Amino acid sequence: MIPAAFDYVAPDSLDGAIKALVDGGEDAKLLAGGHSLIPLMKLRLAAPSLLVDIRKLPGLRGVQRQNGNWRIGALTTHSELEFSPELGVVAEVAATIADRQVRNRGTIGGSLAHGDSASDLPTAMLICEAEVTLQGSSGQRTLPAADLFQDYLTTAVGADEVLTEIRVPALDGYGHAYQKFTRRAEDWAMVGVCAAVKVADGVVADARVGLTNMASVPLRATAVEDALRGQPATAESFAAAAEQAADGTNPPADLNASSEYKQHLARVLTRRALSEAAGE
Amino acid sequence: MSVQDAPAPSGHVGREVPRKEDPALITGKGRYVDDIALPGMLWASFVRSPEAHAKIVSIDASAAAQRPGIRAVFTGEDMADIGGPLPLAWAPPGVEIANPPHWPLARGEVNHVGDPVAVVIGDERYAVVDAAEDVLVEYESLPVVVDPEAAIAGAPFVHEELGSNQVHKWTQAGGDVEAGFAEADVIVERRVVNHRVTGAPIECRGVLADYRAGSLTLYSATQVPHFVRLFMALLLGLSEDQVRVIAPDVGGGFGQKLQVYGEELTACWASRKLGVPIKWIETRTENMAVGHQGRDQIARVRMGATKDGRIIAWHVEILADLGAYNMLLTPLIPSLGAFVMGGCYDIPNVRTDIIGVFTNKCPTDAIRGAGRPEAAHMVEVTLEQLAHELGVDPVEIRRRNFIPKERFPADVATGVTYDSGDYHASLDKLLQHVDLPAFRAEQVRLREQGIYRGIGFSTWTEICGLAPTRLFGPTGLGVQAGFWESALVRVHNTGAVTVYSGTSPHGQGLDTAFAQIAADKLGVDFDAIEVIHGDTSLGPEGRNTYGSRSLASGGEAVAKAVDKVVDKAKAIVAAQLEAAAEDIEVVDGQFRVKGSPDKGMALADVAGAAYVGDVPDGMEPGLEETTFYHPDNYVFPFGAHACVVDVDPDTGRIKVVRYVAVDDCGNPVNPLLIDGQIHGGVVHAIGQALYERIQYDAEGQLVTGTFVDYALPTAAEIPSFETDRTVTPSPVNSMGVKGVGEAGTIAGSAAVTNAVIDALRPLGVDYINMPLTPMRVWEAIRKADGTEVAR
């Protein structure tokens, strides 16, 4: 790898990191696991003047339960999530990311702050209705996941902000599934469907369905969710609701899939994800 | 003879000897070009065209030249003193080839993305890559042609001065195909695409050129150091003895390093110009764009048969997209398939017509299999369609058409003589592993559960072991060289043995195979044998490694050189022990007199006598021998492969669930190496069939330039392979061996494709061109749905 020249700092405090970002100006970039930024630098599609490596920041790693929420430090790796089965859908989704080497280095904070439309954790955050904590030079704020993702590779994280923590409501009592469709095991999702379903007395009490790579940001398939609530938790219900999975979407075509094929996949994968989540 | 019937080998040959190359390589002690540094060495980086077709209006290197650590920037005009453009080594008698000059650095015009236009030389690697971005090249865009069918139809032209995009026309015909079709009861037609792929060696290309005091040493990650030496000498005005080319450890080639590249020449030229060593190490991004690519053939195929399933006519018309320039063997490659276009089958009328066409893309050339995977794919997928249309089982139709073993050596309609074959035995053995009736029953059961499982076969042969010069060389096919192979075997004073081979292996494990051969014949310890290759200053002139030739040609040369050493040793021993030379035998590491097991000499003692001159009158001292072995035919390995896939009809996703390969490469020297080659070769084939594809957009921009977009399969996509063998020794060489390096690649893509079609026939799908991506499969199912009933 031969990137363009850059400076590098590894501050040992959050304040130090924020100050470095402010001082570094608009070409300063935060470096966490590096699995989004470094490939771009390798191709010279990104040429930051300064990398602010946050690996030394204290207290940004690990998972704790508090008041019905999971508090996940931004530097927690995909592997750590994958091997925390109590996280439910988050663990399941994390286990599908790329390959073992990437999961050992890549972090949840990096993935969310980068906002690649084909990445997996943003969709899980969306259906869990998670919130992220951002710390910047003008203080701290929290933001719902739905507001974090704005466009391709564009999130609400400010140039001087560090995403420090993710608060994920524990979906106790929900079954979950992530149907990720790829050509190869390690690939980005061609389409992914993340589902969490709560069933009571054979009836769908709540259903949440998120779509990966169907738009510039992760989407909720609200038509599917609305159609299912109160319906019997049967394969037939799921199949009928799944037909609406791509409604209102206009996914961009890419090398592997036309827009039409992605919409088809969204319907098939939604049906499968719902059935799997409900244990049908 | 089957493997189970074979006698247990008494020596090293035939045994699963672990690779002697591996301890160094797997402990990080390999020495690749990038591991080599020379004092005062500078680095090179190439400025490459971002445009697919453009005139170069101006090049302004002033900003780059002023950057710290930059020593020089050169353009194509600076290299005006080289002896000519980059070589094309194919000149088929009676065939005209359009061959516009291909310069190491572009002169006036660029013709594909990545075409080099300048080189920046400086103190360290990062500095030169940064500086290359500061070389300002003004381009005037020219019309781009990417689609080969559009390119052959007319303007725009890649090379305007030619007034056409046609490179050449070439035909191989045996019998009379039109007469055959006239008698056919059924004719199957297809448009078969063998799409463009790349070799993707784990080590990209790299060179370190060191010109000093009138001679040049070039370290290069190449498969062909002797060819590189020849052309460096010719193009730089040096004699061959002034040029030494060293291929150190080379991390795979897959044909991509069977080439004489402009970067090699530029580094050598710049080293002479500046008087310092110059190093260039290719990045993956460069390799994907400019390491030569392969396949890219669109074929109209027509197969005619009688109603009882005898193939009587087979006509293939290939449009070969050769990219922007002819490189070393570019237009030759499709022709290599023509000689085995009839496959394993007794087809009286076979014709292959090839048209090569220029496009604004990276040039194609040899990639593992080189023409033969395309041919095997065409014949095997068309044959299974023929079987379907006739209502004959795909296994049965093969049996009806196989060339029977009694016919070998068999003259075939494609003008060559297949040296050996027992295709029925190979297929029979495959079916010992694959219980076809049980599979068919299970297939029906699974379909009822919505699982579309299919089985596909490929019974294949190929032409390798290059080569008999009379057929392959200047007056035959027209490749401008002789294709023998050399070996030098030296027994040292101490009895240690060094084998020098003119081949240049780069991952195949031939050090091990050659040492096995020598160890058995000399009766010495395998570990005491050193194998050296890939250095033009060590050992005799060689013809290097490609086309599955290194064992059948190079191994045979080693065997013959060792035989000469043994003969001399026997004469020395006979004189020492006062026996007749023909009574000396090699047993347990001793040269012994037959019938007198206590009378003998170890090889070390023989060598001692040889080097002190204690040899029979008239015999020269020393104990080393050289051979140039010139095969009088190609060798034709063959086999029978079966692939089982599951297709998800809802998504089009394919999973390879089983792959069985029965191969016949003659007498096995090392089954471990054979299995390794088959495994890798089949992965390559699965990659082509399902995953890998080099794609350009309409502007000629490469859109699969990384391993994210160019989908090399990984372990997760590949099943555990089941391999077995039959053994039909080649009569061409004394060891009875045939090549195996390309076998899996040649066999595999048809087996995978046929399996997918077999799975989807109930849905009305009868063909899909590679790569069988999920979307293509889904589209084929959707298009066919209800339009054809299952037969």
Instruction: Tell me what pLDDT residue B2 has.
Output: 44
By CA distance, what is A2's nearest residue in B?
B126
User: pLDDT grade, residue B588 (50/70/90)?
Assistant: confident
How far is the alpha carbon of B715 from chain A, nearest alpha carbon, in Å? 9
Average of per-residue pLDDT across A20-29: 95
Q: Residue B685 in contact with residue B752, Cβ under 8 Å?
A: yes
The percent helix, strand, coil of chain B (3-state, each to 5) is: 30, 25, 40
Contact residues on chain B for A44, CB-CB shorter than 8 A? 133
Instruction: Tell me what pLDDT residue B10 has.
Output: 77
**B671-686 and B743-760 helices, crossing angle to 10°:** 50
Instruction: Tell me what pLDDT residue B787 has.
Output: 47
Total residue count of chain B as it appears in this document: 791
Is A184 in contact with B778 (Cβ distance < 8 A)? no
Instruction: Tell me what pLDDT residue B179 has.
Output: 98
Is A256 in contact with B778 (Cβ distance < 8 A)? no
Residue entry with tokens 């995009």: B165
Dump pLDDT digits (tens) for A62-76: 999 999 999 999 999
State the Cα–Cα distance between residues A274 and A196, nearest whole angstrom.
8
State the Cα–Cα distance between residues A171 and B481, nearest whole angstrom.
72
Please compute Rg for chain A using Cα positions.
19
Contact residues on chain A for B695, CB-CB shorter than 8 A? 255
Dump pLDDT digits (tens) for B424-433: 999 999 999 9
DSSP for A208-260 reads EEEEESSSSS-EE-HHHHHHHTTSB-SHHHHHHHHTTTTTT--PPP-SS--HH
Alpha helices in B262-393, H assignment, sequence order: 262-274, 284-290, 333-338, 372-390
User: pLDDT grade, residue A240 (50/70/90)?
Assistant: very high
Global pTM reads: 0.97
How far is the alpha carbon of A187 from chain B, nearest alpha carbon, in Å? 7
Average of per-residue pLDDT across B391-414: 98
Closest CA to A48 of A92, A90, A9, A94: A9
Q: Residue B670 in contact with residue B15, Cβ under 8 Å?
A: yes
Average of per-residue pLDDT across B437-446: 98
Q: Residue B681 in contact with residue B655, Cβ under 8 Å?
A: no
Residue B496 corresponds to which tokens in the numbers above? 């240690």
Instruction: Tell me what pLDDT residue B38 has.
Output: 98
ipTM for this model: 0.96
Residues 6+ apart with CB under 8 A from B578: none
Residue B6 has pLDDT above 90, yes or no: no
Residues 6+ apart with CB under 8 A from B762: B447, B452, B790
Closest CA to B64 of B129, B109, B12, B145: B129
Residue B649 corresponds to which tokens in the numbers above? 């009809």
Nearest to B717 among A184, A190, A255 (CB): A184
Nearest to A268 among B650, B691, B708 (CB): B650
Instruction: Tell me what pLDDT residue A52 has.
Output: 98
Contact residues on chain A for B133, CB-CB shorter than 8 A? 4, 44
Instruction: Tell me what pLDDT residue B7 has.
Output: 59
Residue B667 has pLDDT above 80, yes or no: yes
By CA distance, what is B708's nearest residue in A?
A187
Chain A interface mutation, best of B128, B134, B651, highest count of A Cβ atoms under 10 Å: B651
A185 CB within 8 Å of a chain B CB: yes
Closest CA to B754 of B742, B770, B741: B770
State the Cα–Cα distance between residues B466 and B552, nearest whole angstrom.
8
Instruction: Tell me what pLDDT residue B786 has.
Output: 53
Nearest to B716 among A2, A44, A185 (CB): A185
How far is the alpha carbon of A250 from chain B, nearest alpha carbon, in Å? 17
Average of per-residue pLDDT across B344-364: 98
Mean per-residue pLDDT over chain B, rounded: 96
User: pLDDT grade, residue B747 (50/70/90)?
Assistant: very high
By CA distance, what is A47's nearest residue in B?
B130
State the Cα–Cα distance between residues B284 and B288, nearest whole angstrom.
6
User: pLDDT grade, residue B790 (50/70/90)?
Assistant: very low
C-alpha neighbours within 13 Å on the C-beta side of residue A248:
9
Chain A interface mutation, best of B654, B775, B776, highest count of A Cβ atoms under 10 Å: B775
Neighbours of A67 (CB within 10 A): 8
B704 CB within 8 Å of a chain A CB: yes
Contact residues on chain B for A257, CB-CB shorter than 8 A? 774-775
By CA distance, what is B775's nearest residue in A?
A257
Average of per-residue pLDDT across A252-275: 97
% residues pLDDT > 70 (chain A): 100
Which run of H or E residues covers position B163? none
Is A2 in contact with B774 (Cβ distance < 8 A)? no
Instruction: Tell me what pLDDT residue B476 has.
Output: 94
Q: How far is CA B512 from the centre of its chain?
A: 20
Dump pLDDT digits (tens) for B44-71: 999 999 999 999 999 999 999 999 999 9
Q: Residue B72 in contact with residue B84, Cβ under 8 Å?
A: no
Instruction: Tell me what pLDDT residue B597 has.
Output: 85
By CA distance, what is A185's nearest residue in B?
B716
Q: Residue B431 to residues B200, B393, B425, B428: CA-CA distances in angstroms?
A: 34, 13, 10, 5
